[in-house]
Amino acid sequence: MQPQPGSLLSELLNAPIQPGRVVWIGLRPARRGAMTSVKTATADTAGGLVGDRYNGRSGLRQVTLIQREHLDAIASHLGLDHVAPEQLRRNIVVEGLNLTALKDHHLRIGTAVLAWTGECHPCSQMEETFGSGGYNAVRGHGGITARVIESGTMAIGDRLERLPATSL
């Protein structure tokens, strides 16, 4: 449910936030296939990231993002020293930005513009990857999904900036 325009809650939700930074990009060419770490990626309005299995598909889950800080939290919940981005199977890892603050906004990474489309919940494959309890360790830390609304390129080190509120 959206807050009333002009309300204090609306103002708080749309208050400025610091930009984040891309620290990892990964593509998965095939379902259940290995992730490929890349330095740059091309986002295409025709269907997501070029070279990723979701490329060419319309829908709300063209690109997935996760916070680097959440990788540490997931590792802690599992009693591990480290969780690698490839294990979570998300496309983009960012740091320094709370991805939840992007809800109902567009975001710019490099020259590409994405639209926030939802939370990225864990799947049963987290049990295969991390063992028993993997699914629950990722709950609430799975990141977000987005669709590409302006094609462009993105690279490790690029800023992730929240654009003004939109109606999705």
Number of folded domains that form the chain = 1
Residue 7 inside a domain? The answer is no
| Structural domain span for residue 82 | 19-165
Give the pLDDT of residue 19. 93
CA angle 112, 91, 71 (to 5 degrees): 125
- Examine the pLDDT at 58 and tell me if it is beyond 70: no
- Separation in Å, CA 148 to CA 49, 50, 113: 8, 11, 6
Residue 66 inside a domain? The answer is yes
Residue 13 inside a domain? The answer is no
Residue 168: pLDDT band with limits 50, 70, 90: very low
Helix (H/G/I), strand (E/B), else coil: 62: coil
Q: Report the percent of the chain where pLDDT is more than 70.
A: 94
Give the pLDDT of residue 59. 72
Question: What CATH number has the domain bearing residue 114?
Answer: 2.40.33.20
Residue 112 inside a domain? The answer is yes
Handedness of CA 134, 57, 48, 25 (dihedral sign): positive
The neighbour count for residue 123, using CB atoms within 10 Å, is: 13
Kindly report the pTM of this predicted structure: 0.90
Whether 124 and 131 have beta carbons less than 8 Å apart is answered as: no
Residue 3 inside a domain? The answer is no
- Examine the pLDDT at 100 and tell me if it is beyond 80: yes
Residue 11 inside a domain? The answer is no
- Examine the pLDDT at 1 and tell me if it is beyond 70: no
- The pair of three-digit structure tokens given for residue 15, joined into one six-digit string: 């208050």
